[in-house]
Structure 1
Amino acid sequence: MSVPAPRSHPDHAPDSHDLGSFGYGQQLRRNVGPFASFAAGFSFVSILTTVFQLFGLGFSFGGAGFFWTWPTVFAGQLLVALCFAELAARYPISGAVFQWSSRLAGTDVGWFTGWVMVIGQVLTVATAAIALQAVLPTIWSGFQLVGGSGADSSPVSATGAQNAVVLGVLLLVVTTVVNAVGVRLMAVITSAGVVVEIIGVAVLVVALFGHAERNPSVVLTSQGAGEGNYLGLWLASSLMAAYVMVGFDSAGELSEETRAPRATTPRTILRALVLSGVGGALLLVGGVVAAPSLTDGSLAGGGLAYVLTARLGDVGGRLLLVCVAIAVVVCTLAVQTSGSRMVYSMAREKAFPFADLLGRVSPRTGTPIGAAVLVGLGAAIALAVNWDQSAVFTALASLCIAMLYLAYLGVTLPLLVRRLRGELPTGGTDEFGKPLFSLGRWGVPVNVLAVVYQTVMVVNLAWPRASVYDLTDGTWWLQYSALLFIAATLVVGALVHRRNRSRHGGKIVLGQLLVSAPQRTTPVEEPA
C-alpha cells in the first residue's frame, strides 16, 4: 500500500512531520479547522437529536426529578473528557480510543477496546438514523412512506418501526456518500449543521420558558414518575443522559485531519461537552415547565415533540422540528465519520478483517471509503432488526451506550495505572509553543473519580431491566441482551483477534507497518 508523504504546504508540514514521529505517513487530508473539530464532537452528542429521541424515556421512569440525572452524568463525563483531552494533546492520531488504549496498556487491550468501540459506534449510527422517524412524519405526514400518510407513525408501532428503517437506510446512503467524497465536505456540513442546532436550541429554550406552565422548582419533585422504588426508577432514567453525553471524543478521531491537533483537539473535546451540557440542561427544564401536563402520560409518550406542537402550534412547532431533523442528519454523519476513522486506524495496523481494503485511503478523495461503507452497512443491518420487532432494536439501542462506556473505561483505567506508576509522559509543547494540556496535580483524583463513575455507569447501563430491554414483557434473552451481547462481542472479538495475529505474524506494533512505505505528495485544500 503506497502512503502519501507529508504535504508540502507550509501550514500542514509541521503537523505531518509530527504524525511521522509516530510512524505514520500523512494519508488523510488536513482540512479540519478549530470550529469543524468542535462541530465533530458537538454533532455526535447532538442534544437536539438525542434529547428529542429519549426525553420521553427518561421522564417515563423518573418524572420531573429525572432532570438531576443530567448534571450527574455531565459531571462524570467531564472527568472522562479531561482525561481524554490530556491524551489527545500527546497522541494526535486517528482511531483515538484504540490508539490511546494501545499505548497505555498494550495492543491486545487496545485492540479489544477499539473492537468494542467500533461495535458501539455502528449501533449508535443506527440509533441516530432511526431518530428521523420521531421527527419527519410530524413535520409532514408524507414522510410516512410505509402504510401511507394515515398510518400510525409512532416508532413503537408496526408501521412506524418499518418506516423508521426506510428513512434510516436512506439517510445512511447520504451520509456514506458524503463520507466518501471527502472530509472537507463533511466538515462544512457538520459545521453548518451545528450552527443551525445551536440557534435551534436557543430559540427552543426561549420558546419553552416563554410558555411555562409551572415553576422550574418542579424538578425537585417526582411528578410523572413510574411506579416502584424511586431510586431504581431514577437510575433507569439516567439512561437518557448517559446516551446523550457520549461522542465528545470525536474530535480526537479526526486528529490526523485537524490542523495543529495538539493545541486544538483538547479544547474542542471539552467545549463540545460543556456546551452540550448547558444546552441540554436548559432543554430538559424547559420541556418539564412547558408541558401541558406531567401526569396524563402524554409527556412520557410524546416527549419534547408533543410539548412543541402543543405549545407553539403546528406551524411554529414544525419549524423547530426542521432544526431537529437537520441535527439528526448531522449527528448520523458525525457518528459514521468517527466510526470509520476507528476502523481505518485499526485496519492500517493489519488488526482488522479485510485490512487491505479498510485501511486504504482513496488518493482521489483522501478518505477511507471502505471503512465508511462498512460502518454504514453495519448500521443498516442493525436498523433492519427493527422491521418486525421494534423491541429488539430498543434493546440494541440501549446496550450501545454500555458498549461506548466500556470502551471509554478501556482508556481511563490503563491511564490511571500508568499515572499511579509515574509512567505518563509529561511536559512538551503544542504547535504554538505552549505547554500541552495537562491535569497536573489534579490528574490522579480526576482519573480515579472518572474510573469509579464509569464502572458504576457500565453496571447501571447493562443491568437487565425488563422495562428497558424487554418491551415484550416475557422474553428472557431480551431482558439479558446487554450482558449477552457484550459477552458475544468479546468472544467474537477474541476469535477475530487471534486470526489476525496468526495471519500477520503475531503482536501488533503500532506504526511500524507504515514507516518505510513509499511516499508521494497529494494536493492540499484549505481547512473548514
Structure 2
Amino acid sequence: MTTTAPSDLRPDPARPPGDGSLAEFGYRQELHRSLGRYASFAAGFSFISVLTTVFQFFAFGYAFGGPVFFWTWPVVLVGQLAVAACFAELAARYPLSGAIYQWSSRLAGLTFGWFAGWIMVIGQIVVVAAAALALQTVLPAIWPGFQLVGGDPAPTSPDGAANAAVLGVILLVLTTLVNMLDNRVMSVVNRVGVTAEIIGAILIVVLLLTHSRRSPGITFHTQGAAGPGLLGALLVGSFTAAYVMIGFDSAGEMSEETHHPRRTAPRTILTALGAAGLLGGLVVLGGLLAAPSLTDGHLGVDGLSYVLTSSLGDGVGKLLLADVVVAIAVATLAIQTAACRMLFSMARDGQLPFSARLAHVNPRTGMPAAPALVVGVLAAALLLLDFASPDAFLAIGTTCIVLLYLAYAMVTGPLLIRRLRGTLAVEGTDERGGTLFSLGRWGVPVNAFALLYGLLMALDLAWPRAQVYDPAGGHWYFQWFTVLFLAATLTIGAGYRTVRKHRTPRGAVPEEAVQESGVRVGRGVGRGTRSNAV
C-alpha cells in the first residue's frame, strides 16, 4: 500500500553501499560506464583548467592586486581543499550524476536540493560561456588573423569583446557536437587534452622560472595595484584564484560513467584540485618573476600571453600559447559535460521542464544529447552580452563563480548539520572492500571551515564594487549584475516550482511523496524504484 511521506527528505539506500550499483538508489544504468581513474581525474582537472583560467584572469588579478595578489592563491587553495574533502566523502556514499543536486537533496530534502541543483546548473552554463571567451586572450596573440572583428584584441575593448563572442560561439558548436557523439570520444579528447595541458603547464613553469628577472620577494608588494589599500587589493585579487579553483566536483558528476566510483571519485576530486592548485600557483609566480616589467601597464592588460611572447620569444611563446588553446577547448568541453550531467540527473527525477527528453540517453552512444544542445545554445546566448559591452566579460566570469560557490555551500551547510546531529552515515565499503573515504574526527572543523570560507568568498565576489564592475560608469546593471542574475535565477526557479506544484492534479500523490514511497513515477523519473529506508 502506498503512503505519502511527511517530508521530501530523500533517504539513504536500504543496504550498506559497496557494489556501486545504481539500483540501490532506484536508477538503471544507462550512461556507459567506461571511465577509468585517469579519465575521472581528467574530468575534474579539465574543468579547473589551470591554463585556461590563469591566462584568462591573471591580468585582472594583477591590475587590481599588484604582485601581492599571488598570496590569495594559497588561501583560496586551502579553502577549496576543505570543500573538496567534504565532497570526497559524499562522492563515496552517493556516486551519482548531478552530484551537487543529488548530495544536497539527500542531506536536506528534495526541495532544497532542487534549488542547489538549479543554481549549480545555471552557474555551469555561465561558466561554459566564460571559458569559451578565454580564446580571445590567446588566439590573437598567436596570429592577428584570429581577430575577426575590428583591430583591437584586448578583451576589455569593444572590438576584443565582440571578437571573443564570435570565437566563443565557434568553440561551443564544436564542444556541443562532441558532447552528442559518444562518451568514449569525449573521454579520449578530455584525456589527451589534459595530458597536453599538464605537460604545457610544467614547461611554462620551468621556462618562466629559468627566465626570472626578479626575486620572489616582489610578491609582497602592491605596486601598480588599483585596489583600495592592501586589503582591497587582496579581496579583489582573490578573484583570479577563486575563478580557477572550481569544478573539482566534476569527478563526482561523472560517477555513473566511472569504474569503481566509490573508490575512484573521492581520490580524483582531491588530486585534481591539488595538482591544479600547485601548477596554477607556480604559473602565477613564474609570470610575476619573468615579466619584462611590472610597471609598463602590459601585465595588467595583456597578462601572461604578454609574458610568454616577450620573455621566451615569439617561437616558443606562441607554441606554448597553442597548448593553452587546447586547454581552453578541453575545459569548455568538460564544463559543458558537467552541466549536461546535472540537467540529465534532475530531469531523470522529473524535476525540469521536458524531463523525458532531457533524461533520454542514446543507448548506442551512452550520451544524453538534448542537455548538450540546451547548454550549448544558452551559453552561446550569454556570449551575445559581449557585443553590448566589454564589461560583460567580467560580469559573466564573476557571476558564474558566485553561483557555484553558493551551490557548494548548499551542500557543505546541510552536511555540517547532519554531522552535528550525528546522522551522517559513516559506514560502508567501496567496490574493493576498502573503507569509504572519511574525514573522521576532523569532519566537523573541516566542514565548518569549508562552509564559512565559501560564504565569505561568495560575498566578496558578489559585492557590487563600481571600480571593478563598472569602471567607465553609466552601466549600473553591470555593477549589480551578479546580484541581479542571482535574484533572477532564484525567482525563476521559485516560480517554476510554484507553477509545477499547482499543476499537480487534485487527488494525485505529490511527486516527492511518490519518490519517498518507492513507487515508479514514469518515464525519465527515477528510472526504477526508490528505497524508503531511513
TM interval, shorter chain, is over 0.9
SS of the residue aligned with 1:434? coil
Q: What's 1:392 paired with?
A: 392
Which of 136, 139, 143 is residue 142 of structure 2 equivalent to? 139
Which of 24, 29, 32 is residue 32 of structure 2 equivalent to? 29
The equivalences for 1:181-330 within 5 A come to 181-226=181-226, 228-330=228-330
Which of 504, 510, 521 is residue 506 of structure 1 equivalent to? 510
Q: What's 1:497 paired with?
A: 497
Q: What's 2:530 paired with?
A: none
In 2: Cα distance, 1:153 partner to 1:321 partner: 15
Q: What's 2:529 paired with?
A: none
Could you report, residue by residue, the CA deviation over 1:140-161 in whole angstroms, capped at 9, with x for unpaired residues? 12212224xxx11221222221
In 2: Cα distance, 1:77 partner to 1:104 partner: 20
Q: What's 1:434 paired with?
A: 434
Count of aligned pairs between the two proteins:
502
TM-score, normalised with respect to structure 2: 0.91
Moved more, 185-194 or 77-86: 185-194
Q: What's 1:43 paired with?
A: 46
Let me know the Cα RMSD of the aligned residues.
Answer: 1.7
8 Å contact from structure 1 (residues 89, 261) kept in 2: yes
In 2: Cα distance, 1:15 partner to 1:502 partner: 40
8 Å contact from structure 1 (residues 165, 386) kept in 2: yes
Residue 31 of structure 1: how far off its partner (Å): 1.2
In 2: Cα distance, 1:477 partner to 1:227 partner: 21
Distance of aligned partners of 1:176 and 1:229 in 2 relative to their CA distance in 1, 3 Å threshold: same
8 Å contact from structure 2 (residues 356, 523) kept in 1: no
In 1: Cα distance, 2:458 partner to 2:487 partner: 14
In 2: Cα distance, 1:224 partner to 1:371 partner: 44
Which residue type is aligned with residue 94 of structure 1? Answer: S
Residue 34 of structure 1: how far off its partner (Å): 0.5
Q: What's 1:171 paired with?
A: 171
Which residue type is aligned with residue 335 of structure 1? Answer: I
Which of 88, 94, 102 is residue 85 of structure 1 equivalent to? 88
In 2: Cα distance, 1:451 partner to 1:72 partner: 15
Q: What's 1:367 paired with?
A: 367
Distance of aligned partners of 1:17 and 1:281 in 2 relative to their CA distance in 1, 3 Å threshold: closer
SS of the residue aligned with 1:300? coil
Residue 499 of structure 1: how far off its partner (Å): 2.6
Residue 274 of structure 1: how far off its partner (Å): 0.2
8 Å contact from structure 2 (residues 31, 366) kept in 1: yes
Match status 1:60 vs 2:66: no
In 1: Cα distance, 2:122 partner to 2:413 partner: 20
SS of the residue aligned with 1:301? coil
Match status 1:474 vs 2:474: yes
8 Å contact from structure 1 (residues 47, 280) kept in 2: yes
Distance of aligned partners of 1:91 and 1:174 in 2 relative to their CA distance in 1, 3 Å threshold: same
Which residue type is aligned with residue 218 of structure 2? Answer: V
In 2: Cα distance, 1:331 partner to 1:30 partner: 21
Q: What's 1:446 paired with?
A: 446
Q: What's 1:522 paired with?
A: none
Match status 1:113 vs 2:116: yes
8 Å contact from structure 2 (residues 137, 302) kept in 1: no
Q: What's 2:460 paired with?
A: 460
In 2: Cα distance, 1:483 partner to 1:267 partner: 35
In 2: Cα distance, 1:217 partner to 1:363 partner: 57
8 Å contact from structure 1 (residues 208, 286) kept in 2: yes
8 Å contact from structure 1 (residues 45, 248) kept in 2: yes
Could you report, residue by residue, the CA deviation over 1:155-205 in whole angstroms, capped at 9, with x for unpaired residues? 122222111111111111111111111111111111101110010011001
TM-score, normalised with respect to structure 1: 0.92
Could you report, residue by residue, the CA deviation over 1:335-391 in whole angstroms, capped at 9, with x for unpaired residues? 000000001100111101111111111122111100111111110010111113121
Residue 513 of structure 1: how far off its partner (Å): 6.8
In 2: Cα distance, 1:58 partner to 1:335 partner: 23
Which residue type is aligned with residue 506 of structure 1? Answer: P
Residue 281 of structure 1: how far off its partner (Å): 0.8
The equivalences for 1:337-416 within 5 A come to 337-416=337-416
Which residue type is aligned with residue 296 of structure 2? Answer: D
Unmatched 5+ stretches in structure 2: 1-16, 525-534
Distance of aligned partners of 1:353 and 1:222 in 2 relative to their CA distance in 1, 3 Å threshold: same
In 2: Cα distance, 1:510 partner to 1:461 partner: 37
Which of 69, 77, 81 is residue 72 of structure 2 equivalent to? 69
In 2: Cα distance, 1:142 partner to 1:359 partner: 41
The equivalences for 1:119-130 within 5 A come to 119-130=122-133
Distance of aligned partners of 1:49 and 1:514 in 2 relative to their CA distance in 1, 3 Å threshold: farther
Which residue type is aligned with residue 486 of structure 1? Answer: L
Q: What's 2:9 paired with?
A: none
Moved more, 155-164 or 196-205: 155-164
In 1: Cα distance, 2:385 partner to 2:41 partner: 33
Distance of aligned partners of 1:372 and 1:141 in 2 relative to their CA distance in 1, 3 Å threshold: same
In 2: Cα distance, 1:17 partner to 1:94 partner: 13
Moved more, 33-42 or 490-499: 490-499
In 2: Cα distance, 1:514 partner to 1:154 partner: 55
Which residue type is aligned with residue 328 of structure 1? Answer: I
8 Å contact from structure 2 (residues 20, 430) kept in 1: no
In 2: Cα distance, 1:317 partner to 1:17 partner: 46
Moved more, 213-222 or 106-115: 213-222
Q: What's 1:332 paired with?
A: 332
Moved more, 210-219 or 157-166: 157-166
In 2: Cα distance, 1:432 partner to 1:239 partner: 40
In 1: Cα distance, 2:223 partner to 2:156 partner: 24
Residue 502 of structure 1: how far off its partner (Å): 3.8
In 2: Cα distance, 1:192 partner to 1:35 partner: 11
Unmatched 5+ stretches in structure 1: 1-13, 519-528
Could you report, residue by residue, the CA deviation over 1:197-253 in whole angstroms, capped at 9, with x for unpaired residues? 010011001110111010012112222322522201210110111000000000000
Moved more, 505-514 or 475-484: 505-514
In 2: Cα distance, 1:510 partner to 1:348 partner: 12
In 2: Cα distance, 1:17 partner to 1:79 partner: 25
Distance of aligned partners of 1:396 and 1:471 in 2 relative to their CA distance in 1, 3 Å threshold: farther
SS of the residue aligned with 2:416? helix
Which residue type is aligned with residue 289 of structure 1? Answer: L
In 1: Cα distance, 2:324 partner to 2:124 partner: 21
Residue 517 of structure 1: how far off its partner (Å): 7.0
8 Å contact from structure 1 (residues 179, 372) kept in 2: yes
In 1: Cα distance, 2:341 partner to 2:519 partner: 18
In 2: Cα distance, 1:360 partner to 1:191 partner: 26
